[in-house]
Amino acid sequence: KLPPVVTIDGPSGSGKGTIAKLLADRLGFILLDSGALYRAAALAALDKSVDLSDEEALTQVAKSLDVHFAVNGGQLRVVLEGREVTDDIRMERVSMAASSVAAIPGVRAALLQRQRDFRMAPGLVADGRDMGTTVFPDAPVKVFLTASAEERARRREAQLREKGVSVSLRDLLEDIRARDAQDMNRKASPLAPAEDAVELDSTGVDIEEVLRRVLALVQARI
Ligand code: C5P
Protein backbone atom coordinates (compact mmCIF):
# COMPACT_ATOMS: atom_id res chain seq x y z
CA LYS A 1 0.00 0.00 0.00
CA LEU A 2 1.30 3.43 -0.97
CA PRO A 3 1.90 6.02 1.75
CA PRO A 4 -0.91 8.62 2.08
CA VAL A 5 -0.72 11.98 0.32
CA VAL A 6 -2.36 15.28 1.22
CA THR A 7 -2.49 17.56 -1.83
CA ILE A 8 -2.80 21.32 -1.45
CA ASP A 9 -3.37 23.14 -4.71
CA GLY A 10 -4.23 26.72 -5.41
CA PRO A 11 -3.05 30.00 -6.92
CA SER A 12 0.07 31.83 -5.79
CA GLY A 13 -0.36 33.64 -2.49
CA SER A 14 -3.28 31.51 -1.35
CA GLY A 15 -1.19 30.40 1.62
CA LYS A 16 -0.77 26.84 0.38
CA GLY A 17 3.01 26.86 0.88
CA THR A 18 2.68 27.96 4.49
CA ILE A 19 -0.14 25.52 5.20
CA ALA A 20 1.70 22.65 3.51
CA LYS A 21 4.79 23.24 5.61
CA LEU A 22 2.89 23.53 8.90
CA LEU A 23 0.86 20.44 8.06
CA ALA A 24 3.94 18.39 7.13
CA ASP A 25 5.60 19.43 10.41
CA ARG A 26 2.51 18.57 12.41
CA LEU A 27 2.01 15.16 10.77
CA GLY A 28 5.72 14.32 10.46
CA PHE A 29 5.17 13.89 6.72
CA ILE A 30 7.57 14.65 3.88
CA LEU A 31 6.97 17.94 2.06
CA LEU A 32 6.97 18.49 -1.69
CA ASP A 33 6.97 22.10 -2.88
CA SER A 34 6.36 21.33 -6.55
CA GLY A 35 6.48 25.01 -7.49
CA ALA A 36 10.14 25.03 -6.40
CA LEU A 37 10.85 22.40 -9.07
CA TYR A 38 9.31 24.57 -11.80
CA ARG A 39 11.09 27.60 -10.40
CA ALA A 40 14.43 25.75 -10.40
CA ALA A 41 13.83 24.69 -14.02
CA ALA A 42 13.03 28.30 -14.92
CA LEU A 43 16.14 29.61 -13.17
CA ALA A 44 18.30 27.00 -14.90
CA ALA A 45 16.84 28.12 -18.24
CA LEU A 46 17.41 31.82 -17.46
CA ASP A 47 21.00 31.12 -16.33
CA LYS A 48 21.68 29.23 -19.54
CA SER A 49 20.02 32.00 -21.59
CA VAL A 50 17.60 29.47 -23.08
CA ASP A 51 14.88 31.11 -25.16
CA LEU A 52 11.66 30.86 -23.11
CA SER A 53 9.68 30.05 -26.23
CA ASP A 54 11.95 27.14 -27.26
CA GLU A 55 9.88 24.21 -25.96
CA GLU A 56 12.38 21.57 -26.95
CA ALA A 57 15.32 23.28 -25.29
CA LEU A 58 13.24 23.88 -22.12
CA THR A 59 12.14 20.25 -22.04
CA GLN A 60 15.81 19.30 -22.21
CA VAL A 61 16.58 21.63 -19.29
CA ALA A 62 13.82 19.95 -17.24
CA LYS A 63 15.03 16.46 -18.14
CA SER A 64 18.58 17.17 -17.06
CA LEU A 65 17.61 19.36 -14.08
CA ASP A 66 20.12 18.83 -11.27
CA VAL A 67 18.13 20.01 -8.27
CA HIS A 68 18.08 18.84 -4.66
CA PHE A 69 16.06 19.76 -1.63
CA ALA A 70 17.75 19.82 1.73
CA VAL A 71 16.28 20.60 5.11
CA ASN A 72 18.54 22.91 7.07
CA GLY A 73 17.49 24.23 10.48
CA GLY A 74 13.86 23.42 9.68
CA GLN A 75 14.11 25.47 6.46
CA LEU A 76 13.72 23.88 3.04
CA ARG A 77 16.79 24.73 0.96
CA VAL A 78 16.89 24.40 -2.80
CA VAL A 79 20.19 23.50 -4.44
CA LEU A 80 20.60 23.83 -8.21
CA GLU A 81 23.74 22.36 -9.76
CA GLY A 82 25.49 22.53 -6.39
CA ARG A 83 24.54 26.18 -5.78
CA GLU A 84 22.02 27.29 -3.18
CA VAL A 85 19.15 29.08 -4.95
CA THR A 86 16.53 29.13 -2.16
CA ASP A 87 16.08 32.91 -2.38
CA ASP A 88 16.94 33.33 -6.06
CA ILE A 89 14.01 31.19 -7.21
CA ARG A 90 11.56 33.53 -5.40
CA MET A 91 12.50 36.54 -7.52
CA GLU A 92 9.64 38.02 -9.53
CA ARG A 93 11.31 37.38 -12.90
CA VAL A 94 11.76 33.72 -11.95
CA SER A 95 8.07 33.50 -10.92
CA MET A 96 6.94 34.70 -14.32
CA ALA A 97 9.45 32.48 -16.15
CA ALA A 98 8.34 29.47 -14.06
CA SER A 99 4.77 30.05 -15.10
CA SER A 100 5.80 30.07 -18.80
CA VAL A 101 8.06 27.05 -18.46
CA ALA A 102 5.34 25.15 -16.58
CA ALA A 103 2.95 25.54 -19.51
CA ILE A 104 5.10 23.27 -21.69
CA PRO A 105 3.86 19.66 -21.73
CA GLY A 106 7.39 18.25 -22.22
CA VAL A 107 8.56 20.06 -19.11
CA ARG A 108 5.65 18.76 -17.04
CA ALA A 109 6.22 15.21 -18.29
CA ALA A 110 9.92 15.44 -17.43
CA LEU A 111 9.10 16.46 -13.84
CA LEU A 112 6.20 14.07 -13.21
CA GLN A 113 8.01 10.98 -11.91
CA ARG A 114 10.40 13.13 -9.93
CA GLN A 115 7.40 14.49 -8.00
CA ARG A 116 5.87 11.05 -7.47
CA ASP A 117 9.18 9.83 -6.02
CA PHE A 118 8.55 12.07 -2.99
CA ARG A 119 5.76 9.74 -1.88
CA MET A 120 7.44 7.93 0.98
CA ALA A 121 6.46 6.66 4.42
CA PRO A 122 4.98 7.88 6.64
CA GLY A 123 3.26 10.18 4.12
CA LEU A 124 3.54 13.24 1.90
CA VAL A 125 2.13 16.75 1.82
CA ALA A 126 2.38 18.08 -1.75
CA ASP A 127 1.62 21.65 -2.73
CA GLY A 128 1.24 23.06 -6.23
CA ARG A 129 -1.31 23.51 -9.00
CA ASP A 130 -2.02 19.97 -10.19
CA MET A 131 -1.11 17.76 -7.23
CA GLY A 132 -4.69 16.54 -6.83
CA THR A 133 -5.55 16.36 -10.53
CA THR A 134 -2.48 14.95 -12.27
CA VAL A 135 0.38 14.02 -9.98
CA PHE A 136 -1.46 12.28 -7.12
CA PRO A 137 -5.01 11.66 -8.42
CA ASP A 138 -5.49 8.91 -5.79
CA ALA A 139 -4.63 11.14 -2.80
CA PRO A 140 -7.05 10.55 0.09
CA VAL A 141 -7.09 14.24 1.07
CA LYS A 142 -7.22 17.02 -1.52
CA VAL A 143 -7.48 20.68 -0.64
CA PHE A 144 -7.96 23.56 -3.06
CA LEU A 145 -6.95 26.75 -1.28
CA THR A 146 -7.98 30.12 -2.64
CA ALA A 147 -8.04 33.77 -1.58
CA SER A 148 -9.00 36.94 -3.41
CA ALA A 149 -6.31 38.40 -5.70
CA GLU A 150 -6.24 41.58 -3.59
CA GLU A 151 -5.60 39.64 -0.39
CA ARG A 152 -2.90 37.59 -2.09
CA ALA A 153 -1.18 40.74 -3.35
CA ARG A 154 -1.30 42.22 0.17
CA ARG A 155 0.25 39.08 1.68
CA ARG A 156 3.02 39.12 -0.91
CA GLU A 157 3.67 42.80 -0.25
CA ALA A 158 3.97 42.15 3.49
CA GLN A 159 6.37 39.25 2.83
CA LEU A 160 8.55 41.40 0.61
CA ARG A 161 8.44 44.32 3.02
CA GLU A 162 9.74 42.01 5.75
CA LYS A 163 12.70 41.26 3.50
CA GLY A 164 13.27 44.97 3.01
CA VAL A 165 11.97 44.97 -0.55
CA SER A 166 9.43 47.63 -1.44
CA VAL A 167 7.15 47.13 -4.42
CA SER A 168 3.87 48.69 -5.41
CA LEU A 169 0.74 46.82 -4.51
CA ARG A 170 -0.62 47.60 -7.95
CA ASP A 171 2.33 45.96 -9.73
CA LEU A 172 2.01 42.90 -7.49
CA LEU A 173 -1.70 42.63 -8.18
CA GLU A 174 -1.00 42.84 -11.89
CA ASP A 175 1.64 40.10 -11.67
CA ILE A 176 -0.69 37.89 -9.65
CA ARG A 177 -3.53 38.31 -12.14
CA ALA A 178 -1.20 37.64 -15.10
CA ARG A 179 0.16 34.50 -13.47
CA ASP A 180 -3.33 33.27 -12.49
CA ALA A 181 -4.52 33.71 -16.06
CA GLN A 182 -1.48 31.92 -17.43
CA ASP A 183 -1.82 29.04 -14.94
CA MET A 184 -5.59 28.62 -15.38
CA ASN A 185 -5.77 28.94 -19.13
CA ARG A 186 -2.98 26.63 -20.21
CA LYS A 187 -3.77 23.27 -21.80
CA ALA A 188 -1.32 21.14 -19.79
CA SER A 189 -2.57 20.56 -16.24
CA PRO A 190 -4.26 23.93 -15.74
CA LEU A 191 -4.81 25.25 -12.25
CA ALA A 192 -8.18 23.80 -11.26
CA PRO A 193 -9.64 21.95 -8.29
CA ALA A 194 -9.84 18.15 -8.55
CA GLU A 195 -13.43 16.89 -8.61
CA ASP A 196 -12.97 15.42 -5.16
CA ALA A 197 -11.07 18.37 -3.68
CA VAL A 198 -12.36 20.36 -0.72
CA GLU A 199 -12.26 24.07 -1.53
CA LEU A 200 -11.19 26.44 1.23
CA ASP A 201 -11.22 30.22 0.84
CA SER A 202 -8.60 31.77 3.10
CA THR A 203 -9.63 35.40 2.50
CA GLY A 204 -9.81 36.98 5.93
CA VAL A 205 -9.11 33.67 7.67
CA ASP A 206 -5.92 33.34 9.69
CA ILE A 207 -3.39 30.59 9.05
CA GLU A 208 -4.13 28.78 12.32
CA GLU A 209 -7.80 28.45 11.39
CA VAL A 210 -7.00 27.19 7.87
CA LEU A 211 -4.61 24.66 9.41
CA ARG A 212 -7.31 23.50 11.85
CA ARG A 213 -9.73 22.89 8.98
CA VAL A 214 -7.18 20.95 6.93
CA LEU A 215 -6.16 18.87 9.97
CA ALA A 216 -9.80 17.97 10.52
CA LEU A 217 -9.98 16.63 6.95
CA VAL A 218 -6.80 14.62 7.45
CA GLN A 219 -8.12 13.14 10.69
CA ALA A 220 -11.35 12.13 9.00
CA ARG A 221 -9.71 10.51 5.98
CA ILE A 222 -6.28 9.13 6.84
O1 C5P B 1 3.71 27.59 -6.33
P2 C5P B 1 4.65 28.55 -6.98
O3 C5P B 1 4.13 29.94 -7.09
O4 C5P B 1 6.01 28.50 -6.36
O5 C5P B 1 4.85 27.99 -8.46
C6 C5P B 1 5.54 28.72 -9.46
C7 C5P B 1 4.92 28.44 -10.82
O8 C5P B 1 5.12 27.06 -11.15
C9 C5P B 1 3.40 28.64 -10.88
O10 C5P B 1 3.03 29.93 -11.32
C11 C5P B 1 2.93 27.60 -11.87
O12 C5P B 1 2.92 28.11 -13.18
C13 C5P B 1 4.00 26.53 -11.81
N14 C5P B 1 3.53 25.33 -11.12
C15 C5P B 1 2.84 24.40 -11.85
N16 C5P B 1 2.45 23.23 -11.27
C17 C5P B 1 2.73 22.99 -9.99
C18 C5P B 1 3.42 23.94 -9.20
C19 C5P B 1 3.80 25.12 -9.80
O20 C5P B 1 2.55 24.60 -13.01
N21 C5P B 1 2.35 21.84 -9.46
We report the CATH number of the domain holding residue 133 as 3.40.50.300
DSSP assignment letter at 115:
H
SS3 state of residue 83: strand
Query: Number of structural domains, the chain?
Result: 1
Give the bridge partners for 144, in sequence order.
Answer: 9, 199
Question: What distance lies between CA 177 and its chain's CA centroid?
Answer: 16
Mutate to test the pocket of ligand 1, among 34, 116, 156, 185 (most ligand atoms within 8 A of CB): 34
Peptide bond into 122 cis (omega under 30): yes
Give per-residue pLDDT as tens, 183-215. 999 999 999 999 999 999 999 999 999 999 999
Q: Which residues line ligand 1 (CB under 6 A)?
A: 12, 34-35, 38-39, 98-99, 102, 128-131, 179, 183
Domain ranges, residue 121: 5-204
User: Is 12 within any annotated ligand binding site?
Assistant: yes
Residue 116 lies inside a defined structural domain of this protein: yes
How far is it, in rounded angstroms, from Cα 182 to Cα 23? 28
**Per the domain annotation, does 216 fall within a domain?**
no
Q: Report how far Cα 81 is from the mean position of its chain's Cα atoms.
A: 20
Tens-digit pLDDT profile for residues 84-111? 999 999 998 999 999 999 999 999 999 9
Within a domain: 80: yes
pLDDT of 13 reads 87
**What tens digit of pLDDT does each residue of 9-57 get?**
999 889 999 999 999 999 999 999 999 999 999 999 999 999 999 999 9
Per the domain annotation, does 123 fall within a domain? yes
Tell the burial category of 45 from Cβ atoms under 10 Å away from its Cβ (0-12, 13-18, 19+): buried
